[in-house]
Chains A and B, each alone.
Chain A
Amino acid sequence: MSDALLSARGLGLTFGPITALDEVHADLWPGEVLAVVGESGSGKTTLLNVLSGRMAPDAGTVWYRDPARHLHDLHAMPAPQLRALHRSDWGFVHQNPRDSLRMRVSAGGNVGERLMAQGIRHYGDIRAAAQDWLAQVEIDPARIDDLPHTFSGGMLQRLQIARTLVTHPRLVFMDEPTGGLDVSVQARLLDLIRTLVTRLGIAVVLVTHDIAVARLLAGRLLVMQGGRVIESGLTDQVLDDPQHPYTQLLVSSVLSA
């Protein structure tokens, strides 16, 4: 864990009688994609929220290593610092892009917001960066002044990704980024995420219930059930040679095309 970007130790969280997290350990190293799979209620989204500091655990610690290599106890960080982190070194891609995008602000304004939040005050530079990022996520840069509601679901998700990556974060949290999209649109998005993540060397914590998505994007995998990590390791090893009864069930339940 010496170089890990994020290290979770002994995370626990209960909601009344429900155990959302139970003794969860996880590490994330720079440039790797870690998938968290499990069915609804397994605790995977809670884990994402705790790892990203959006939710505090009852027990355990999440350590974050900043670009200057200093370690921070994430949940002890002052709110301004944590929010600044979420605007710069980190990103969050929601399943529903409408949760993140400003629907009444143009595509260019949406992409430029994080730059402006960082204090960039040159309109021409912001616009050029927005155009560049629209092109990178395969949206016609000529649509820079269009409002998001004129975009398709797949385009909205790509716009959200452009908006998130514009500050070159080192770590991006993704919550079911391909959920709710048509299969053909999913493929395009998967390819895009894969290409960008590889090229930019971004570390990703990817929460998905779709094992095929995990297989195509992630190097390592955590399988969660009832708030516990019941199996973890190389993605193909966990999926091709599952050891835990629940993982075997999960893998065998997937319809293959």
Chain B
Amino acid sequence: MLKWLFSTVFLLAGLSNLFAQVVTDSIKKTDTIPITVLNTYILRDYQGYDFTAGIRTYTLSPTLLRDNSSISGLSDALQTVGGVYMRSYGNGMNNAVTLRGFGPERTSTLWNGIPINNAGLGQLDMNLMPGGFFNSIKLIEGSSSTQYGNGAQGGSLLLEYHPDFNNKFNITLQQEFGSFFSWNTGVQTNYGNKIFQGRTAFLRNSSNNNYAYKDKATVGFPTKETVNANFFSYQIIQDLFFSFKKNWNLSFHGWFNYTDRRIPPPLGAANNNSQQFDQNIRLMTQLWKQIRFHGIKLQVAYLQDHLNFRTDAFNDSSLIHSGQVQLQYTYSSSKVFALISGGNFSVNYSEYQYYGNPITEFRGNVFIMTNWRFRSKSRITQAKLSAGMRQQLSTHYISYPSAHIGMDLTQHIKEGHSITACLAFNTAYRMPTLNDLYWVPGGNPNLKPEYSWNTEASFKYKMDLPWIDLSFDVMGYFGRTSNWIQWTPTIFGYWEPQNLTEVQSAGFEGGASFSLKKKKWKLNLQGHYNFTHATDVNNNFYQLIYVPQHSVKGTLELKWDEIYLTILPSFYSKRFTLSDNTQFIPSFFLLNLQAGYTLKLTSCAIGFFGRLNNVTHADYQMVLNRPMPGINFSAGINFYLDIQPNRQRR
């Protein structure tokens, strides 16, 4: 009876850690993305190959997701990555990624290879991306339009889920409770056999979100409770994978999001009961076949983005339908050479009131990328070279082609010691969004696409011994973007986007990591410094707004058997809020702690975890006059059941 009760309690509990049972390094700056074969089903798309030689790539590991994002948004996990700054409008509110000074509309997000940035706004809210529901998340830092298409000037975020065809049945449940009466519930189950695999996931988040803040708009700066900030969200993901004979593969994917958020006013402003609804429907099917060295993949996707924003005096609703067809051909003759070529065709349709008439816009691009690998006979020296090109077209434009050429050169000094030098040059582009083109009044059909070029070089020393790992890396980049689109007021009393200026993005990154393993002990230390000088060339080289020049991030993870403690300090320098750099938000230091314990049983595991955020109770803002919460906690429990009687456990 007790056993039954015990099981039931944990079955009612929930997820995050369990998406992350395999604890690995928290952040990996991959030198390469190996052609990893998860199983016979491996999705042989181009992300599987290293077409990004020379470009810095981060893999968000399960540990990182466990420690930061739990089952809610990706924003916290991304925040810990070196060059990332998240522009958050408050706890649980819109959270936009900024990379190398480029904002969210200049960062491309792909879901299983399909770009999903909102066609109207050109961006995505990272708080609506459920990090725990993807088992492969990569962040490509820097220009990567050749690989990932439109808007990848700051970088690209790749969200993927790969099935395991050895799986029979497993289920993960997690329940988390935290400050401000926050509840996160997650369920994910994987089921199937060697021919079919299904994945069903459900996530529910809610919070009163009434955190305390210092009201600097009231005499005496009294502490008040945030009003009109509660939110509710649920997401459902369904994947069906089929692996047929003769290397035919078919999959169906569905992702539904419904989020209802009240938007608190900024400090000193009246509460006008702002409310935002986001509803996204994403459907996709993939069909591909592999014949020896040749692979062909067809993807067809439908995306529907519904955004409703309302206040006491305003109600605005936009609905955009997007259809995409993507065809790719891959060739990989050996471990030496790989090629991918293909095209993406999309159509956007909207009847949004601010576009006047219904609009239909067609876009397309074609690309080719190649990858070579060289290795000396002694295997002391290894080199990877990638080069490629992409050409974008649309109803309005033919953009400049984007191109990439990059190289990684690794020299093994002696057993366990290596140095790697990377060099890349690439160009990128961003097409105007539907809002830029069609907004009435102001939409400007004469806009040109933005065009960027970027060059970067990095150097890494790595020591990889049986019980100790050590690495140092430095990286510098420099690039420019012309035809930068900015909305600006006109003499006619409305705003209009124009190709106003040129932006220069230059920076330096340095990092070190150290890990030590001894018996059941594991220590992992990481530190990262980032200098970003993203400036407006036509405006006295002033720093772009909301781009910190300096940031320092660290991770200290201590693990004994199945008990872990993670300490995550971070520091951001001041961020200008006016383009002439006369107003800024002060710098801040943030300290987060996580701890947990996983009890592993024969075919199941139970995890207990807790998080303490903003331990020093820092009074800080990511966006001007949008206070963030002080010290707060969350704690939870998860349950993982794995029924794999015939499976060799890894």
Same complex origin of A and B: no
Mark B residues whose CB is within 8 Å of A. Answer: none
